[in-house]
Amino acid sequence: MSLDPSAYRDLLLALLPELVLTAWSLVLLLFVAWRHQTPRDLHITGWMTFAAFVSTGIATWWLWWNRASVQGVVTMIAADDFRWVADWIFLGAGALTVLVSFAYLERERLLAPEYYVLLVFGVLGMMVMAAGADLMVIFLGLELMSVAVYVLAAFDRRRARSAEAGLKYFLLGAFASGFLLYGIALVYGATGTTNLGLIGAQAGVNEASHSSVMLLAGLALLIVGFGFKIAAVPFHMWAPDVYDGAPTPVTGFMATGVKAAAFAALFRVLNQSFGTLSTWHDIMWWLAVLTMVGGNLFALSQKSVKRMLAYSSVAHAGYLLVAVSAGGASGTSAFLVYAIAYTLMTIGAFAILQAKGRAGESDVTIDDLAGLSTRHPWLAFGLAVCMLSLLGFPGTAGFMGKWYILIAATSAGQNVLAAILVLTSVVSAGYYLPVIMAMYMKPEPDQTAHLDVRLDRWGRTAVAAVVLGILLFGVWPNRLFDLAKSAGTTVQPSSATTAVTPP
């Protein structure tokens, strides 16, 4: 299916997933304004949100099945396999978050159905970011996502930690947005456009004539802005406190969907706008090293499981930066594979953690999980699978994701970076394996230690789906690899823009 954005009908088709989710958001806003007081209202809103994500996923699948693509030079919205696969990641993270939120919100007495509306707007912003073929569209999607997640981080108004998380995220997020916007302004000043393809053509001209200082300064500021959003060292200082203070389902959503959206936009910007410049590969190389080493070393010293997972997410951002540094179709494909695996294992880990803790789960330590396998063997098994996958143990989706990143890095000649990834993954065993050891090799502190640990049936369904996905992709990843490979080739610089002359 070939789409012409200048035709009204084709433009609507290109925006079909976003339009479906926007329509659902308006319906949800009306419903929440009408009914917002009882647990039943909360449950109905949650199921409407789940239906919104499923129907949007179907619309995305229809466009993917019909091979929808944009004719000629892509102006504002891209229509390619990379966008469709990224949308499925965001929608999957949102749907799993809905399932694990039902019991949590009721248990913590957060009877505000606006929670689900904010979740929808957050996913909508992510989809706009992945679809953006223009820097301004990406920025609008980023702000839509960020504003919704700022509020979600501070959603538990009774806890000071949650309010602190929302405030820190808002202040540093606004700071990062300033860097990003200033970078967009400099890139526009150097190239005369904010379209990614046209910037790529201008960057190629500038590369031939020793790139302009303004363009390189704009690129540097864009990298700093995205560095904050993906929580890369040294721009990670907000992540541990925000992840620790936010409600646990929100933490899982932030660690997966928000990070995946920022990386999706980063891949599209670097590959399509600055693919001809070699400068950013060196920057990403060092950023990946700092993030992998720093994230793993910080996580080693953590006793709180939630804070350990927060620093762990920083380390995993480093692994994804290895794929960014590798660049090209192989790096983009590796990102998609690892993003899918990371979404499954992280949401699963936080879902099981929320069953153990109360009031934000910040006080749950590794020792508090001692003997969990005796009382709740299936929950312990699910958490063990998630921990092994995060570690990169063979037979899990996490292993296949890291293996694909290693292939991309070595294919790009970055053998040292691949070796550092392997070594830091070995270091991560120092904080993942103690969780498994505590559950299976230590006795319960007392008979009542895990009596209040429970997940409702929808939470159990989400965890079961996550564990099944981790094991399935760990032993049968062929279809996932094929999907990621076809999607990775669609975000390369377009030859249609090479004839553009500089302003």
Segment 292-313, tens digit of pLDDT: 999 999 999 888 888 999 999 9
Segment 330-387, tens digit of pLDDT: 899 999 999 999 999 999 999 998 888 666 567 788 888 888 888 888 989 999 999 9
pLDDT of 208 reads 47
pLDDT of 342 reads 94
Residue 69's DSSP bridge partners are 2
> Is-cis flag, bond preceding 247, omega within 30?
no
pLDDT of 487 reads 87
CB atoms within 10 A of CB 479: 10
In angstroms, rounded to a whole number, what is the distance separating the alpha carbons of residues 327 and 310?
Answer: 26
Alpha-helical (H) ranges within 66-192 are 81-107, 114-131, 135-153, 160-191
DSSP SS3 for 69? strand
DSSP state of 496: G
pLDDT of 302 reads 87
β pairing state of 2-3 and 69-70: parallel
pLDDT of 356 reads 80
The continuous run of DSSP H or E covering 3 comes out as strand 2-3
Which amino acid is residue 22, in one-letter code?
A: T
Collect the ranges in the chain with pLDDT lower than 50.
208-210, 495-503
pLDDT of 501 reads 35
Q: For residue 79, which of 126, 121, 120, 127 has the smallest C-alpha distance?
A: 127
DSSP state of 77: B
pLDDT of 502 reads 33
DSSP state of 255: I
Opening angle at CA 309, ends 422 and 166, nearest 5 = 135
pLDDT of 213 reads 85
Q: What residues does each domain of the chain span?
A: 13-497
